[in-house]
A and B are shown apart, each in its own frame.
Chain A
């Protein structure tokens, strides 16, 4: 078997001409091995057939034609390259073009006669730019789109303000009013303090009762509280009205002082009086 493998490897080498005179050396193996003999005969026959293929006929003057065609192509390619080089090098640009362009842009009309840019100024060029076309009815559409914003603004507590007050100012006023209302409500609705044991209940319609009865709210205090409902002052139209609003701030401070003194003097036992109801109702209105 090894002899067969050796024979076949050598046969392949012989077929490409690497082993010359090999069949003589293989004679003994071929005599004793029919398989290798058949293979050898088949390869020999195939080689014979391949050898009968004639050499391809070369066209006459093939090399000369090839050289001539290559030279033509090379010449055409070089011409194209030259044209490209010339274009890239800028040889086709008219002489002095850059100077004329600069002169024209600077408004100088001293450029050589006949040049394309003589007498052309930047203003001329800009004047030739067409005006942009404005769509018809643009302003009406813009105003129509703005209308919902105006309607929404008119429903606010600050409607009618033109110019409208500064936002931080409006916020400060609202916060101060809310604090005031909460303070008043808390003090008026505070439950009555428990009396010490053994303290006799004060009967009504007695001098003592009259002394301890709650005083009626001061009209000045009530007038100050009513200021809080004057929203028109908070949204003053003119800067002159702004002074009124600032004045109302002083009134609020006065109101706070009066309330404090009032509560201190009357005590919490009178928290359920008519004045307390009124303050509570105003508080609800403000919060609303």
Chain B
């Protein structure tokens, strides 16, 4: 039985800076849109960088995100936090970008790790990017962690990034990923398990 989604749309949107700016912009204050871009473009860019890696199209994607905001001007209603809404747009555009760029790998493996074979398939590194092991051999801890995050499945990766770096509560992550809070908890838990596998050598050193 599918779990009912939590009522996280009642997140006091009237206190939200983004919501305030959107409402001002809807009321005819064109400067509010500029303020909106200044307030949120950096967060969108950071999210895209963590999710996609340092790809060249990030700035174009930021522009696409705000183009969606522009088009939604008339029909926008503040039912959720503005950051939740704009992160959802960002996630959709980023996954579309990955599909278009052919970055998504469809690997069929006979054996996986545990029950999450899809996750394991995406954990396998490809030839185009540095693997966590290679980064570790080069002594680049940051590159190893970044490579390990990039190996995670899209939903696990986004859930982990939003929970760990943007400190969004599970309820809001559930809105971004169009899922339930319980599913988000499971996603984050599996993401951390996968990272522990990928970064095992580093973790041993860290514990020692």
Where the two chains meet, the residues of A that have a C-beta atom closer than 8 Å to any C-beta of B are: 12, 15-17, 41-43, 45-50, 52-56, 58-59, 62-63, 65-67, 69-70, 73-74
Instruction: Check if A59 sits within 8 Å of B59, measured CB to CB.
Output: yes
Which of the residues A49, A53, A62 comes within 8 Å of B41, measured between beta carbons? A62
Nearest first, the 3 A-B pairs at minimum CB distance are A56-B49, A45-B206, A63-B38
Which of the residues B37, B45, B141, B188 comes within 8 Å of A58, measured between beta carbons? B45
Residue on A nearest B204 in the bound complex, by CB: A45
Q: Would you give 11 A-B contacts (Cβ < 8 Å), ordered by A?
A: A16-B170, A17-B167, A42-B207, A46-B192, A46-B196, A49-B141, A50-B165, A56-B45, A58-B46, A59-B59, A63-B42
Which of the residues A15, A48, A53, A58 comes within 8 Å of B206, measured between beta carbons? A48
Instruction: Check if A45 sits within 8 Å of B188, measured CB to CB.
Output: no
Q: Please tell me if B23 contacts chain A, counting CB pairs below 8 Å.
A: no
Residue on A nearest B34 in the bound complex, by CB: A67
Instruction: Check if B66 sits within 8 Å of A66, measured CB to CB.
Output: yes
Known: A46-B195, A53-B146, A58-B45. 19 other contacts (CB 8 A): A15-B192, A17-B167, A41-B207, A45-B207, A46-B203, A49-B141, A49-B202, A50-B195, A52-B142, A52-B145, A53-B50, A53-B142, A55-B46, A56-B49, A62-B45, A66-B59, A67-B33, A69-B63, A70-B70
On chain B, the residues within 8 Å of A50 by CB distance are 145, 164-165, 195
On chain B, the residues within 8 Å of A55 by CB distance are 46
Which of the residues B41, B145, B192, B206 comes within 8 Å of A63, measured between beta carbons? B41
Instruction: Check if B63 sits within 8 Å of A66, measured CB to CB.
Output: yes
- In the assembled complex, the CB of A114 is this many whole angstroms from the nearest CB of chain B, namely 47
- In the assembled complex, the CB of A91 is this many whole angstroms from the nearest CB of chain B, namely 26
Instruction: Check if B206 sits within 8 Å of A49, measured CB to CB.
Output: yes
- In the assembled complex, the CB of B199 is this many whole angstroms from the nearest CB of chain A, namely 6
Q: Please tell me if B11 contacts chain A, counting CB pairs below 8 Å.
A: no
Q: Chain A interface secondary structure, helix, strand, loop or mixed?
A: helix
Contact flag A70-B203 (CB < 8 Å), given A49-B145, A54-B142, A56-B46: no
Instruction: Check if A73 sits within 8 Å of B67, measured CB to CB.
Output: yes
Instruction: Check if A66 sits within 8 Å of B37, measured CB to CB.
Output: yes
- Tell me, in angstroms, the Cα distance from A46 to B148 when the chains sit together: 11
Number of interface residues of B (CB under 8 A): 39
Q: Chain B interface secondary structure, helix, strand, loop or mixed?
A: helix
On chain B, the residues within 8 Å of A73 by CB distance are 67
- Tell me, in angstroms, the Cα distance from A49 to B34 when the chains sit together: 36
On chain A, the residues within 8 Å of B185 by CB distance are 12
On chain B, the residues within 8 Å of A56 by CB distance are 45-46, 49-50, 54
Contact flag A43-B192 (CB < 8 Å), given A16-B167, A48-B206, A49-B199: yes
- Tell me, in angstroms, the Cα distance from A59 to B188 when the chains sit together: 30
- Tell me, in angstroms, the Cα distance from A46 to B146 when the chains sit together: 13
- In the assembled complex, the CB of A51 is this many whole angstroms from the nearest CB of chain B, namely 8
Instruction: Check if A16 sits within 8 Å of B67, measured CB to CB.
Output: no
- In the assembled complex, the CB of B143 is this many whole angstroms from the nearest CB of chain A, namely 10
Instruction: Check if A12 sits within 8 Å of B37, measured CB to CB.
Output: no
On chain A, the residues within 8 Å of B63 by CB distance are 66, 69-70
CB within 8 Å of A: which B136-159 residues: 141-142, 145-146, 149
On chain A, the residues within 8 Å of B105 by CB distance are none
On chain A, the residues within 8 Å of B38 by CB distance are 63, 67
Instruction: Find the residue from A45, A55, A65, A73 having the highest chain B CB count within 10 A.
Output: A45
Q: Please tell me if B62 contacts chain A, counting CB pairs below 8 Å.
A: yes
- In the assembled complex, the CB of A229 is this many whole angstroms from the nearest CB of chain B, namely 95
On chain A, the residues within 8 Å of B164 by CB distance are 16, 47, 50
- In the assembled complex, the CB of B131 is this many whole angstroms from the nearest CB of chain A, namely 16
Which of the residues A46, A54, A59 comes within 8 Å of B45, measured between beta carbons? A59
On chain B, the residues within 8 Å of A48 by CB distance are 206
Instruction: Check if A74 sits within 8 Å of B70, measured CB to CB.
Output: yes
Q: Please tell me if B98 contacts chain A, counting CB pairs below 8 Å.
A: no
On chain A, the residues within 8 Å of B33 by CB distance are 67
CB within 8 Å of A: which B156-208 residues: 163-165, 167, 169-170, 185, 188-189, 192, 195-196, 199, 202-203, 206-207
- In the assembled complex, the CB of B89 is this many whole angstroms from the nearest CB of chain A, namely 14
On chain A, the residues within 8 Å of B142 by CB distance are 52-54
Instruction: Check if B59 sits within 8 Å of A65, measured CB to CB.
Output: yes
- Tell me, in angstroms, the Cα distance from A36 to B151 when the chains sit together: 27
On chain B, the residues within 8 Å of A65 by CB distance are 59
- Tell me, in angstroms, the Cα distance from A47 to B167 when the chains sit together: 13
